[in-house]
Chains A and B, each alone.
Chain A
Amino acid sequence: MNDGLIQTTESLCPVCLRVLPAEIRRRGGEVMLGRVCPEHGRFEEAIWRGEPDFETWRRPKRPAAGVAPQQPPGRGCPYDCGLCPEHGQHPCTILVEITSHCNLRCPVCFADSGRGEESFTPLATLTEQLAWIHRQTGREVVLQLSGGEPTLYPELPELVAEGARLFSAVQLNTNGLKLAEEPGLARHLARAGLSWVFLQFDGVSDRVFEIIRGRPLWAEKKAALENCAEAGLAVVLVPTVAAGVNDHELGDLVRLAISLPSVRGVHIQPMTASGRNNLSGAAHRLTLPEVLARLSQQTGGLIRPEQAFPPGCEHERCSFVLRYRRTAEGQLIPMAGGGCGCKTTTTPSTPTETADNRRRSVEVVLNSWQGPAPPGLTIPMAKPAVRDGFDEFLALARQQTFSVTAMAFQDVWTVDLERLRGCCVHIFRPPNRFIPFCACNLTSAEGRPLYR
């Protein structure tokens, strides 16, 4: 690929957070996002390094109209999030921060939790908030319960049950310490209808946890996995990955995940500079192709970059998706998207409908991450299901689906307003706002938040 301008967009000044016209340019093996602030000068950050080529990584989407709720236009994107009329995608995932309490004090925390100003929102208030969200989005949304550390919430099973009643799926974002300490908690949450656990899991050695979480946690993580497996609770391992810190453990982490039937996938989040972070320097940054390259190298080609495809819901530059069927021997057979000879999504000629993609995206996420029904928890059917080859294939496919995904959150150095307007992962801010995840967590170079 030749050097030069690829496209124009808009970004922010990392210092004063003003909106600036920006250019995406190829320079050697890197794709850079550059802009000039009249007050603070030129800023440039690498947003893509390596294969697949940035120019071919496309999944255009038609902006979705009528996103609810509408905030009145004011200063324009990204200052009026709520959502505002400029936003181009429905939420497929709504994150609710149910407490600011945390039982860790991580050096790295985009929510900057555990500052000593903790509080629990009363259950009745949270229940009203879920009902309000449901009125805006309908059922087809993944509800993420987050924090702080949501397992510290005293009435978590009740809240999970309410979420399961209202939404397609309920996901718990947790560090897993309480799940490790209290084996009964996983069972309570499974019975309440929790769909899967998003388990913070940065690596396979204590050294990594010491750096990123401030203390060794390997034993606790293993215990949390065991307790979830015993409760029949599906788990997705979620590593926050920084170059030079834990990127060398990605292969071992994927191999560990493949070996555990209750683990449905690995969801990789490259480190960003938002919130509290002592690993925010450029040397620790990883772009999506670099994550793919490490996965390929460290798994001996079990995962291959050409099997990855861009997402159908969020903006194409925000994530990659790898979906497999895992065999009993630990092999990965590509499902849709790539490597199976039926790749159709990489360069579509026309934009696909965003509203429809949201529905499909929620279905695909459910198929990927939701485990088979826990033992003893299957709801008896009025009429027994007919058993044939299709039924058995579906049951096995549900058990064997394994995904490796990565989401490149944006920070003040990489923020691209085109991506922000295509966001479908929104944080609910009481009483009545949905704020795109990266806008909500964004902080300036000096630590000044855009929203928090």
Chain B
Amino acid sequence: MTLATNQLPEIDVEGWVCRKCGQPLKVSLVAVTYMGSSFEVELPGCPNCGFTFIPPVLADGKMLEVEKMLEDK
């Protein structure tokens, strides 16, 4: 399954710094995989170590919804 690449809006990375590397976060394409399906979304991350920051709005929103889809009964 191939899905379009798109940007999550309104993620303000201003002022966020990677704790490990001290680098300011930059928005870049991140591959997300669920159930054998992969897609890419633009997320802030550290340009040095690649650690990705998942904003609360995403974790508590669409990611939670995806997890619920995958939940058992």
> A-side interface residues toward B, CB under 8 Å?
309, 311-313, 321, 323, 325, 333, 335-337, 340, 345, 360-361, 363-365, 367-368, 386-394, 396-398, 401
Contacts and interface: CB of A to CB of B under 8 A. Distances in A.
A393 B35 CA distance: 10
Contact of B62 (A363, A368, A394, A396): A394
Contacts of B4: 387, 389, 392
B66 A392 contact: no
B73 A321 contact: yes
A393 B37 contact: yes
Interface of B: 1, 3-9, 32, 34-37, 39-41, 58, 62-63, 65-66, 68-73
A360 B35 contact: no
A337 B69 CA distance: 12
Contact of A393 (B3, B8, B71): B3
Nearest to A342: B70
Contacts of B41: 388-390
A314 to B, nearest CB: 9
A345 B9 CA distance: 36
Chain B's interface: helix, strand, loop or mixed, by majority? mixed
Which of B3, B4, B66 has the most chain A CB atoms inside 10 A of its CB?
B3
Nearest to A338: B72
A390 B58 CA distance: 9
A361 B68 CA distance: 10
Contacts of B63: 390
B35 A388 contact: no
B48 to A, nearest CB: 24
Contact of A336 (B39, B58, B70): B70
A333 B37 CA distance: 11
A389 B32 contact: yes
Contacts of A345: 72
A390 B68 CA distance: 13
Given A393-B34, A393-B37, A367 B72 contact: no
Contacts of A312: 72-73
B72 A321 contact: yes
Contact of A325 (B6, B35, B65, B68): B35
A345 B73 CA distance: 10
B32 to A, nearest CB: 6
B8 A386 contact: yes
A365 B66 contact: no
Contacts of A388: 6-8, 41, 62
Nearest to B35: A325
B41 to A, nearest CB: 4
Given A367-B69, A394-B65, A340 B5 contact: no
B73 A365 contact: yes
A243 B44 CA distance: 57
